[in-house]
Amino acid sequence: MRTLASDPSQVSSLNDLRPHLSDEARFRLAATRPTGRVVKVFALDRVTDADLDEVTKADFVVMLTAAGRDARAAATIGEVCSQRRITTATVVVRDPSASDEMLSKTLAQVRPWSLMVVVAGDESYLDDLLKSFR
């Protein structure tokens, strides 16, 4: 038995797949449960001292930046997270006008402090991504 969907809204997608599956294939839906974890999101170009205090209250930290922006605050946040064993992720939004060099410079600043780095082609992806971290 395989678990394919974690959300009831995905049932219709599974039903669309049914004609392509063997008669012996069986699936179950796993209900999503609240995790109870505290997720904090920080825009790296606007980090304040108050934000650094908030980092210590998190179970999971998501850092946001754009390719070519100053992301040096990732080191400060990342150091706090490393000391407290707080999981980190960074989302880098790459505008179509951002060069490979701009992206590389930003990634060099965030990568050492992020357990996961996502490069998104535009901001529309952020809402769905942030919802997945709850």
Over residues 73-89, the pLDDT tens digits come to 999 999 999 999 999 99
DSSP state of 105: H
Parse the chain into domains and list their residue ranges.
Answer: 1-33, 36-132
pLDDT of 30 > 60? The answer is: no
Query: Which pairs with CB-CB distance under 8 Å and at least 24 residues apart come from 18-27?
Result: 26/1, 26/2, 27/1, 27/2, 27/3
**pLDDT bucket at 130, cuts 50 / 70 / 90:** confident
On whether the CB atoms of residues 59 and 38 are closer than 8 A, the answer is yes
For all residues of the chain together, what is the average pLDDT?
79
CATH 3.40.50 for domain 36-132: yes
Tokens of 60: 């999971």
Tokens of 32: 């999503």
* Lowest mean pLDDT across 50-59, 62-71, 99-108, 116-125: 116-125
Length of the chain: 134
Give the model's pLDDT for residue 81: 96
